[in-house]
Chain A
Amino acid sequence: MTVSVLERNADLGNQSLLGYVDCDVHLYPAKGGAEFDPFLSERWRQHRRTIGGRSRQALGGTANYPRMSPEVGMRVDAWPPGGGVPGSDLDFVRAQLLDAFGAAYGMILPLVGRASDERNLEFSAAMCGAVNDWQATSWCDREPRLKASVQIPVEHEKAAIAEIERRAGDRRFAQVQIPPRGLEPLGRRRYWPILEACAANGFPIALHLGGTSGHPSTGGGWPSFYHEEHHSYVQSMEALVSSLVIEGVFERIPKLRVVLVEGGFAWLPSLAWRLDKHYRRLREEVPHLKRLPSEYIRDHVWVTTQPIEEPERPDDLLATIEWIGWDRVMFSTDYPHWDQDDPRHAFKVQLPEAGRQAIYRDNALAFYGLE
C-alpha cells in the first residue's frame, strides 16, 4: 500500500499564510568579503585582504562538517540566475521567498560577521560593525520587509556594548544575534554586561546555531558525521537555556528575551521538566533562583520552527507546542539553506486557526514590536 505524503498534505498547502513573518533568512555578499570593504576602515580592509579570519579551529575557512549540497549547504535551486551565491540577489530573494508567499517581514541572520569565533577581537569588532552597516544599507534600505540582526563581538565586551548602543533605536535592527557556541555558556557572569545592554536597549537576543568555539560540539566529543553534528545543535541550545536559567540571568535581567533559532524545539518541554525536578532537590545550591526553571523558560524563551520536527505521529507536534506555549513558537524558513522549510508544507499537521496565526505572524510581530 503506497501513500503519497504530498496528496495527504494538499489541503495544508493551500492554507493562507496571512502575511507571515520569516524569523530566519540568510543573506550573503554576492562578491564575497570585498563587499564589506566600504564599511571597514583602511586598517581593517588591509587586514581582511592580507590576513583574514582566524578561527578557533583548524582548517580555518572551511566547514567542519561539509554538506552534500553546493557551498556550505545551499538549496540547489536557490542560485540566482544572474550569478552570485544563494541569498545574494535581492530580486531573486524577493521572487523565491518574500513575494512568493507574501511575507510581511524577514529577519536577516547573517552568518558572516565573525562575531564569536574570531581570535583577533579588534578585527571581530570591525567586521561586526561592517556587517551591520552592510545589512542596513545593502538590504534593509532597499527592502524594508527585511530586518537586521546586530552582530556583536561577543568576546569584546566594550566593543559589543558600543555596537549595541550604536544600533539602538534604529528600526532597521530588530535584535542582537549571538552564536550559541561561545567560549563559555552564555549565562556566565562575563557576558552579563552585554546581556544587560541588549535588554536596556530593547533588543531581544537571537541565538542562531553556529560558531566554532574550539570546544567539541557535543559534551561527548567531536562527532564524526554531519548527520551527528546537525543534531548536536540541540545540545548547544539546551546548554545555553540551562545556563541562562540556572546562572540566574533572567532573575537579574527580567526584561531579557531570547529566541532560539534553528535549534529545534521538541526537546524544550522535557528539558523544562528535568530542570524543575532537579530544582526541587537542588534548590539550595542555586538560592538566587526564585521560581521554577520552567517558569523562567516560559517567560523568557521563544523558539523558531525550522528545521521542524516531523514526528511519526504528526499530531504529537500539537501537544509539544502546547507545552512550550502557542505564543512562544515563531515560523522560520532558513532560506536559502538546504534544510530550509517551505511555509506551505512545513507543518505535517493541521494547526488550529488561532495557533496558526500566532505561529506564522502574531508571535513574531509582538516579539519584535512590528506591525
Chain B
Amino acid sequence: MTRHVVAAVGEIAPGGCKIVSVKGREIGVFFVNGEYFALFNRCPHEGAPLCRGRLFAAMESDRPGQYRLTRAGEMLRCPWHGWEYDIRTGQSWCEPESVKARTYDVAVEPGAILAKGPFVAETFPVSVERNYVVVTI
C-alpha cells in the first residue's frame, strides 16, 4: 500500500471529479459535500469509464407516485447503462450483495507532513504551505 498525492485541495470543484493515473490505474477523485472519494474508473458491469458518469441523489420510493431524494450527490451513475453506485462504499444500488465498484481510501494531508514522507508524488509538486488529497493504493 502506497500513498499517492493526486490533487491539491481546492483543485477539484464541489461536485467535480479529477481523473488521475496511479500505478497504471485510472482513478476518479470526487469532491462531494466537503468530502473526497476515490473510485476505480471502470464500471464492474461492462467496463465503462465509470467516473465520467454523473453524481445524483439516491431516489427512494415506498409506493408508486411517491418518491424522495436523499444523500444528494452521493450516487454515481455510469455513463453507459446507468448502473448506480454508492460513492462512499462502491456498492451497487440494484445488486448490493454481488456487485461493487472499487473504492480507495482518501485523506487530506498538509504539505508539511507529506514532505516528511513516505508518499509518492512523481508528477505532482508539493509545497509545505498547502493541503493535498492523498489516495492510498
Contacts and interface: CB of A to CB of B under 8 A. Distances in A.
> Do A and B belong to a common assembly?
yes
B47 interface: yes
Interface in B45-94: 45-49, 52-54, 79-82, 91
Interface string A339-368: 111101110000000000000000000000
B128 to A, nearest CB: 37
A90 to B, nearest CB: 21
Interface residues of B, number: 21
Nearest to A3: B98
Interface stretch (A68-76, A159-167, A213-221): A68-76
Interface string A1-17: 11111100000010000
A338 B99 contact: no
Interface residues of A, number: 20
A6 B98 CA distance: 11
B77 to A, nearest CB: 8
Contact of B81 (A3, A13, A339): A339
B47 A345 contact: yes
Contact of A77 (B79, B98, B99, B100): B79
Nearest to B53: A76
Interface string A57-81: 0000000000011000001110000
Q: Is the interface of A mostly helix, strand, loop or mixed?
A: loop
Contacts, number: 54
A339 B48 CA distance: 11
Interface in A35-91: 68-69, 75-77
Q: Is the interface of B mostly helix, strand, loop or mixed?
A: loop
A4 B44 contact: yes
Interface in B91-107: 91, 97-100, 102
A342 B48 contact: yes
Contacts of A346: 46
A270 B39 CA distance: 42
Interface in A242-263: none
A338 B44 contact: no
29 contacts: A2-B97, A2-B100, A4-B44, A4-B99, A4-B100, A4-B102, A5-B44, A5-B45, A5-B99, A6-B42, A6-B43, A6-B45, A13-B47, A69-B79, A76-B52, A76-B53, A76-B54, A76-B79, A77-B49, A77-B80, A338-B82, A340-B80, A341-B46, A342-B46, A342-B47, A342-B80, A345-B45, A345-B46, A346-B46
Interface of A: 1-6, 13, 68-69, 75-77, 338-342, 344-346
